[in-house]
Amino acid sequence: MTSRQAPAFTCVVHLPFFLMIMMAGCVTSGDVGDWRLTPLEARPEDPDTTNIQDQNDFMPSTSPNGEFVLFTSGRSGAERLYLMNADGSNEHIVYSGPGTQKQGSWSPDGEKIVHLQMEEGKQYLATMNADGSSDPKILTDVGQSWTTPSWSPDGKRILYHAVGEIGSDDIWSIDAEGGEPELVFGSARADWHPAWSPDGSQLVFTSRRDGQDFEIYVTDLNGGPWTQLTDNEVDDYTPMWSPDGTRIVFQTPRAGRWTIVTINVDGSAQTPITQYPMQWDPVWSHDGTEIFFNSARDGRRGIYVMNADGSNQRKLTNTEPGTFVRVVREAGVDEAARLFREARAENPEAVYFYEREVQYLGENYLEMGHLRQATILFEVNVEAYPESKAAHMDLGKTHLAAGEIGLAVESYQRALEIDPEDARISGLLEKLREETGAGTMRL
């Protein structure tokens, strides 16, 4: 039976002081004392480090015994798998050999990891020892699919999604030791993010098979009928079964911001358990009492943990933002922009923040309707990263939201100059120039 009516959401957490001030529109320049922006330095943890890179942490995965958390990070200069204790201590790279690794998941016995391995521009599904003592073993090519591999409860097979025979992405499985992939099922509109039920008899996945947006579905592994659990006008992603098999957790941009929601396996009792902007990648702890996830609430994506009901949210990974973000939080956007421009005038080659952390801050302001602050942040990001298509796109989106069509066109045109093959930007520019109501376009 398809669930067509979601119950009303009940908020269970409170906004942090910083976001409460932002929502009230009260972040203004204040007494910043002797603030000076400190340039960022590349971390020497990775032998391939040549430039300062994005320090975001994402895609956590908890070990079967509950002692460790695996996650992906760009802090070392390239995307690598990191391991830490469940309390956030002892962070370290799992493997520093050739290629890059991301989106890892534990085997049921905790001895191995399945992950995405990037080598020479190609992306593979691979396994290696959980302590990094073995080189990655390539299982199969997954193309460009953003797959989230899931190990079967008996440890024999691995589920993943990749471009296939039926749709843009189908659900596949492969023997954990390697061999030929087997098609599980697919649809013309794409099936993503499969995850096994604790007893191995069912799987949960997200799909557009019944509409234009991704919804959560459950089906028997033997190809039985599928049941649609969610039904709304936004995408629901990365579902995962609770260890006791009674609940499913997933991420969704409902209410205009990414949040984490739990739902019963029959589609009832949908409950949002985060209220901040920008929450992703939820995974259950080994005993189902906690949920690990990543959040950009302080300007960088870090790994967090909370109780299964959303209470007691706390940060685990060491991704404290630089001085630019701290000035934004403590003295306001205008003061941060002024200090950035002063610092750049003195040292134009220095890097004072990661592109994505300012992007996340700007998106937070934009979501809450503070267009002026968002515009200033995106302008600063363009100044710091003038060759970034994403930075110009963000600025164009903000100009468009403010009804500044001419400025939006200029920003999108610059983004198109950086990437002339991007059909989406070309389409946006065409609509902006043709439609008299472009100022209210939904991007």
Give pLDDT, residue 25.
37
> Which tokens is 84 given?
């830490």
**Is the distance from CB of 402 to CB of 375 less than 8 angstroms?**
yes
Distance CA 150, CA 56 (A): 23
Average pLDDT (95-119) is 94
| Amino acid identity, position 51 | N
Mean pLDDT over residues 176-188, rounded?
Answer: 92
237 and 282 Cβ atoms separated by less than 8 Å: no
pLDDT at 368: 79
Residue 357: helix, strand or coil by DSSP?
A: helix
Closest to 261 measured CA to CA, from 269, 270, 15, 253 = 270
Cα 268 off chain centre by:
26
Which helix (H) or strand (E) is 314 found in, with range? strand 314-315
CA distances to 144, 167, 181, 264 from 205, in Å? 19, 15, 18, 14
Q: How far is C-alpha 411 from the geometric centre of its chain's CA atoms?
A: 25
> What's the average model confidence in pLDDT over 41-67?
70
User: What fold does the segment set 323-440 form as a domain?
Assistant: 1.25.40
Q: What is the pLDDT of residue 187?
A: 85
Contact 276, 293 (CB under 8 A): no
Does the pLDDT of residue 90 top 50, yes or no? yes
Which pair of tokens denotes residue 251?
């991420």
Residue 223 pLDDT: 65
The fold of 54-315 is: Neuraminidase (2.120.10)
Number of helices and strands in the chain (H, E): 8, 24
Residue 248 pairs in a beta bridge with 241, 263
- Between 375 and 168, the higher pLDDT residue: 375
Predicted pLDDT at 436? 47
pLDDT at 369: 85
For helices 17-24 and 355-367, the axis angle rounded to 10 degrees is 50
**Residue at 70: amino acid letter:** L
Sign of the Cα torsion 331, 337, 339, 340 reads positive
pLDDT tens per residue, range 293-330: 998 877 678 999 999 999 999 999 976 677 888 899 88
Q: Is a pLDDT exceeding 80 seen at residue 79?
A: yes
If phi over 0 gives left and psi between -120 and 50 gives alpha, with beta otherwise, what is residue 139? alpha
d(CA 66, CA 103): 18
Domain locations along the chain: 54-315, 323-440
Cβ–Cβ under 8 Å, residues 251 and 282: yes
The residues near 279 (Cβ < 8 Å, ≥ 6 apart) are 251, 258, 259, 260, 293, 294, 295, 297
Coil, helix or strand at residue 360: helix
Pairing of strands 100-106, 191-196: unpaired
Per-residue pLDDT, 33: 55
Burial class (CB in 10 A: 0-12, 13-18, 19+), 12: middle
The C-alpha torsion from 150 through 233 and 187 to 167, rounded to 10°, is -90
Of 394, 384, 408, nearest to 363 by C-alpha is: 394
Q: Are 304 and 298 in contact (CB under 8 A)?
A: no
Residue 426 corresponds to which tokens in the numbers above? Answer: 């070309």
pLDDT score of 40? 76
d(C-alpha 81, C-alpha 61), whole Å: 11
DSSP string, 222-264: TS--EEE---SSS--EEEEE-TTSSEEEEEE-GGGS-EEEEEE
Helix, coil or strand: residue 181: coil
